[in-house]
Amino acid sequence: MNENERLFNSPLSDIKRGYADESDKYVCLICGESIEKGLVYSKGNIFYEAEKYMKLHIESSHGSVFEYLIDLDKSLNGLSPHQSKLLKLFYQGMGDEEVKNEMGIGSSSTIRNHRFVLREKERQAKIFLVLMELLKEGSSKTYNNVKRQTAPKAGSGRHIATQQEKDKIIEKYFPEGIDGPLKTFDMKEKSRIVVLEQLAARFDKENVYSEKEVNEILKGASEDFVTLRRYLIEYGFMDRKQDGSQYWIRKYDSGREVLDLDRRKELKNQFKELKTEAGVYQIRNTINNKILLVATPNLKTINGRQIELNTGGYRNKLLQEEWTKYGNEAFVFEVLEVLEQPEEGFFDMKDELKKLEKKWLEKLQPYGDKGYHKI
């Protein structure tokens, strides 16, 4: 399924979080990566439950759902470049005065007017969505059978330009030469295909690239390298693995075998080899050495707390405030003790874990200026 179609066919709640919750897996709505439920996934020697790993995938591969949606083409998100920039600045938490200075707009009242226009657009969008839902529930077979047009793939024969036309397009949009910066990406589709062809030529067809390497190459053409990368994929000049870990230029003469590492089998084998361990760990602020002690029956999910802290939803408000203030780089997660479990006989893990937690609370006294626990 086309990546955009996957988004368009999903409910708003799924689009907002960036993934679909299916019966046996979570599916990224941006790139199609699927994470099977019931497995534990590792990254950087840290282990995650399936849903938390999907959230990490979206954060590491796509930045955020907001960033992906705001960078979509105007034909998809309905926003002008000016509106997109405004929303990005609002998303960063900028006030009217800051936005005015950033965009070089005359007065703060102009920004307030833009906010009003965007709110009106939001209200109109809600009404429009309801109207379309009612339409789909009705008897309009003509509407329901309409298929969305997709971007023409490279080599498809659509929008073919003559060599003379190509030369004019290249001269217009690459004024400093084909290896120089791109003047703008606001152009007709025929010109866009010619420009993408030139950008694809900056990559070696025999190489496989990481997303970071692709971004570095495209930065030479535009600061908006995310949009360029997306169009190279949508128009079929470039392919990638579903998890975004590898990119390559497509070959139309001999084709290319898609890389497949049988990731599912590898993860299942890895899961079988892992042993669940209970224990106590601390989250330590390296700036002021304040700590929070956590007892858990499963140390594999230790970094799941980091995701909660990054998203601002951690239950300990004192820790959350300082995490937001100092940033995640200021904190470390350290295992203090693994709970030893006998191989035979009755063992009350819950009770033993409480004793272990009490032991470390008495030893470290993480209260007041020393920690995030309340007395």
Tokens, residue 101: 């200075």
* CA angle centred on 26, ends 20 and 28, rounded to 5°: 65
pLDDT in tens, 86-138: 888 888 888 888 888 887 776 777 788 788 888 888 888 888 888 887 877 66
Q: Would you place residue 67 in the very low, low, confident or very high pLDDT band (cuts 50, 70, 90)?
A: confident
pLDDT at 257 over 50: no
What angle, rounded to 10 degrees, do the helices at 189-200 and 225-234 form? 100
Location of each CATH 3.40.1440.10 domain in the chain: 275-370
| 295, pLDDT greater than 60 | yes
What's the pLDDT at 354? 92
The kind and range of the H/E element at 23 are none
Is residue 330's pLDDT more than 70? yes
Q: What CATH superfamily classification does 275-370 receive?
A: GIY-YIG endonuclease (3.40.1440.10)
In whole angstroms, how far apart are CA 260 and each of 78, 160, 255, 339? 36, 33, 15, 39
- 296-302 — which CB contacts under 8 Å span 24+ positions? 296/353, 297/349, 297/350, 297/353, 299/335, 299/338, 300/40, 300/47, 300/274, 300/276, 301/47, 301/48, 301/49, 301/52, 302/46, 302/47, 302/333, 302/335
Give the pLDDT score at 259.
35
* CA dihedral angle for residue 226, residue 228, residue 234, residue 237, rounded to 10 degrees: -130
For the segment 63-75, the average pLDDT, to the nearest whole number, is 82
CATH 1.10.10 range(s) for the chain read 163-249
- Whether the pLDDT of residue 52 is over 80: the answer is yes
Read off the pLDDT band of 141 (50, 70, 90). low
What top-level class would CATH report for the domain 163-249?
mainly alpha
Residue range 186-214: average pLDDT?
89
Helix (H, G, I), strand (E, B) or coil at 239: strand
Q: Is the pLDDT of residue 205 over 80?
A: yes
The confidence score (pLDDT) of residue 135 equals 79
